[in-house]
Amino acid sequence: MVRSSLSGFPELLPAERFAELSILDTLRHTFELHGFSPLETRAVETLDTLAKKGETSKEVYSLSRVNAQAGDKVDSLGLHFDLTVPFARYVVENSGHLVFPFKRYQIQKVWRGERPQEGRFREFTQADIDVVGQDTLPFHYEVELPLVMAEALAQLNVGQFLVQVNNRKVCEGFYRGLGIEDVAGTLRTIDKLDKIGAENVARVLVEEIGTTSEQAEAALRLAEIAGDDAAAIVDQVRSLGVTHHLLTEGLGELHDLLAEAQSRRPGAVRAVLKIARGLDYYTGSVYETLLVDHEDLGSVGGGGRYDSLATSGKKTYPGVGVSIGVTRLLSRLLRDAEVSRPVATTVLVAVANEEDRHRSNVIAQALRERGIPADVAPSAAKFGKQIRYADRLGIPFVWFPGDNQVKDIRSGEQLAADPITWAPPADDLYPRTTFTQGVQSS
């Protein structure tokens, strides 16, 4: 990625943008195969709406207007920093026009005021899928969504990945069974386990959250449990000796999710009970996705079940969603990306002289009408110079209008051709992106 003069706001060269578009096209196609409809929401929300996300609200970019006048309300607005909260607001406002359960995908820019570092940006593209019901939403959607995201990553061929799952009911029920009062604070603290380590987590739980040392130790033992065997996970949790009705419910759901995942996509989904997702609105299954060969990059996606985020007061719209941080994923994949050319143009139509430019335009238009990207040389320079211009751009073919000859400037092969019937090889029609990890598109 091109280093922007503003830290955390990446910019892409044309070849890098083609690489990004190849990822977006694959995601969009996969989502649509599973019945998700496209949606775009506004970039701006009220600060009150954005604050529903919880502690991340401190990262919101607020808006102000230059030369604002008395009575302006722009100071109460901010840029959205994820797509779930705006989507919840959209559902409530447009519920009368939607058919439930409503399945949507959304691919947009978001903004987050955190410290930029590798894989973390202040402006980035996120791809979300969500299913929202009216009043109720069946549990099977909590199973479906991580499997759809796993399929999307498999289509991208990003190498080995792992969708880590947990259930907030397991954690909350376990903490309540221990007698912990600040359940939300405990969840947020456990979610920082990888960042600050077990010793610091235990200290924060005791000194700031108010647990006893024994409660903190038990919470950490729960967080150590991981695996993909559904029955074994349940047995390990029960062996800790804590009981609570919410814990029982969560274990049943986690078991069913793991069992279905092992049946449909073996090895892609693993229970990791330290995954808590430190956002206040999650109520059931939660997910985080890692690239196995790039664990230092951290999570490239996540999400979960939410029951009360979208509500009109009279009706509630429970949902479940997962997202992929496209920009974070791209930042690592671009290290080994190869793009066949940085322009879409397949053919450059040469210009013999400016008086004959119209003839070149007619040939280019005939090619375009058949879906072949074509451009016309910027000037009637010597043909050698026009060929060098095409070569610098990576355009594979040059068309000479005088005798209708087309030249593959890579091999030097030149043949007579008719713009009404000629077509390039399929691999040359559009730029192709290849990653060492295997992402391909055309």
Question: Which residues are annotated binding-site positions?
Answer: 82-84, 112, 126, 130, 277, 281-282
Neighbours of 313 (CB within 10 A): 6
3-state percent helix, strand, coil for the chain, nearest multiple of 5: 45, 20, 35
Q: Could you give the CA distance from residue 176 to residue 245 in angstroms, rounded to a whole number?
A: 10
Going by C-beta distance under 8 Å and a sequence separation of 6 or more, which residues neighbour residue 197?
Answer: none
Q: Can you state the angle between helices 213-223 and 193-204, rounded to 10 degrees?
A: 160
Determine the angle formed by the axes of helices 245-264 and 168-178, rounding to 10 degrees.
150
Q: Which residues are annotated as a binding site for L-histidine?
A: 82-84, 112, 126, 130, 277, 281-282
Give the residue ranges of DSSP H helices in 206-265. 213-223, 230-238, 245-264
Please give the angle made by the CA atoms of 55, 58 and 63, to the nearest 5 degrees.
140
Half-sphere exposure of 136 (CA within 13 A, CB side): 3
Instruction: Tally the C-alpha atoms within 13 A of residue 84's C-alpha that lie toward its C-beta.
Output: 29
Q: Cα(248)–Cα(368) distance, rounded to whole angstroms? A: 62
d(CA 441, CA 98): 33
